[in-house]
Amino acid sequence: TAFLEKGAQDAFLAVGIEFIGRNYAMGGMDSAPHLAICNEAVYGTDADVISWDFGMTDGGAHWKTRLYASRTGVHTNRPAHVTVNVGGRNFKSRVGSLAMAEADGVPSLYLKPQIQEKVNGGIPDSFGMGQADLDKLGPFAQYYKCKTQIEKEEPCGSKKYNEDICPSRKFKASWHPGWREHATTGNILALFMVETMIEALKDLVETHGSVEPKELYNKLKAEEDSEYSKYVASEVPDDYPDFVSEELFKEGLKTNVFFRNKAICKTTLLPAQSRYLGLLTESEMKGEINGYDVGFDKDEAMKVPPIDSKDKGSLTLVYEKNARQQCDVDLNIDYKDYFFASDRYGWASIKFPNDAEMEAYAPSGFNPDGVIMICLLKCDWGKCPPGDASIDSFKEGKWRMELNGNPVIDMVKVDQCSVLKTEDGFKNKPGKDGRYELRVQIDKQEDSLVNFVRITSIAVL
């Protein structure tokens, strides 16, 4: 993303457009349902393009590709959807999902693997080259390809990461692309963006040159508004049985709720615009990358409820200090923070959406079906610590929830998240103030020092 921004911003600035690239990748995250439904909270309500690069984590779950693209179509700013690194054995199925989303009305594009392969094929092989020849290649091509392999064979493999700053940093995994491969993809995307802009400008001049700019804008805006309304009102076939269970179908909660409903999402994940803008906690602490409200350290939250009376009895925003790497520069900005409550909290609650979220995501009003989806923290490699609440432990009665005072009687999985069911079913009415209140209580278990729950997102659709 950094190379895309650097490569495209001057050309866009020349025509008066500020080009901003937000690197909001999250390690180990699937594209859906979590990020797909929370796209406005994560990527911002002003996003013009939202990209998909989840091939490793989504695997063969192609409904995630389509849901991610489809939710892009529901986004308030009507962004385009761009898929990168779509190649491999799942290529045809992924492109097929994109084609279905585009047929529905979402502008969907993907970076053809052949383009990347052609660029890679044109870069000289560094294996066996002397230093004088390597110097002629320049930093982007040096050590990019060795024995026809990209950033793998030596000496390329040991050169894929920048070792000048904090060389012992985390996440320098063999399966992650190095900075040169990121540069290649970013520059290809930058060239595409600039070429697309030039084509659009030519079309404006050649096709609409005689029309007053304001008149043309109003005409195109009206067309877009009409298409958006039709898209949001359109029906999605219930052809994803692995995504929406039979139990949800029987309750009338079908695929369309997740693919088309307006959603307001309260997410603790980073990076996210809702965190940076202070919307999550209605905080005056704001800042991109730094300066935002980080909440409480996990070790302190584990001991007792926060001392501050306004937080006591509340689901607490928590971060883990050891996840933040210490370096002179920001090495990574994606952190799995969460809302936290332990068996020492009693009933802990949170109300949503708050005033700031309503103003940001539904300034004209919000009339949801009342479907509440929560996502528990996804443990790294599936290894959760002792005492961590799960769907199974909920069903065993080891912790409980209430929604607006009504007991939650079931959590029905929707992949990595869950839909809450009360005695009223899956569709719950908000309180008189138009808000929902989720209350959580954790029981003390003999086999653990502290029992706790960690919730990363709460969405209402």
- The first and second tokens of residue 50, run together, are 């939202």
User: Rounded mean pLDDT of the chain?
Assistant: 90
Q: Whose CA is closest to 431, among 311, 371, 351?
A: 351
CA distances in angstroms from 177 to 30, 59, 60, 164, listed in the order given: 18, 17, 21, 17
d(CA 194, CA 426): 46
Name, in order, each residue with C-beta under 8 angstroms of 235's C-beta and a sequence gap of 6 or more. Answer: 256
Q: What is the reported pLDDT for 308?
A: 47
Tell me which residues of the chain have a pLDDT lower than 50: 307-312
Q: What is the reported pLDDT for 400?
A: 96
Q: What is the pLDDT of residues 146-175, one digit of tens each?
A: 999 999 999 999 999 988 889 888 888 888
Q: What is the pLDDT of residues 429-452, one digit of tens each?
A: 999 999 999 999 998 877 667 889
Q: What is the reported pLDDT for 249?
A: 73
Name, in order, each residue with C-beta under 8 angstroms of 165's C-beta and a sequence gap of 6 or more. Answer: 327, 328, 329, 331
Q: What is the pLDDT of residues 26-72, one digit of tens each?
A: 988 999 999 999 999 999 999 999 999 998 888 888 888 889 999 99
Residue 43 C-alpha from the chain's centroid:
7
Q: What is the reported pLDDT for 170?
A: 87
Q: What is the reported pLDDT for 91?
A: 87
d(CA 280, CA 274): 6
Q: What is the reported pLDDT for 237?
A: 78
CB 364 within 8 A of CB 76: no
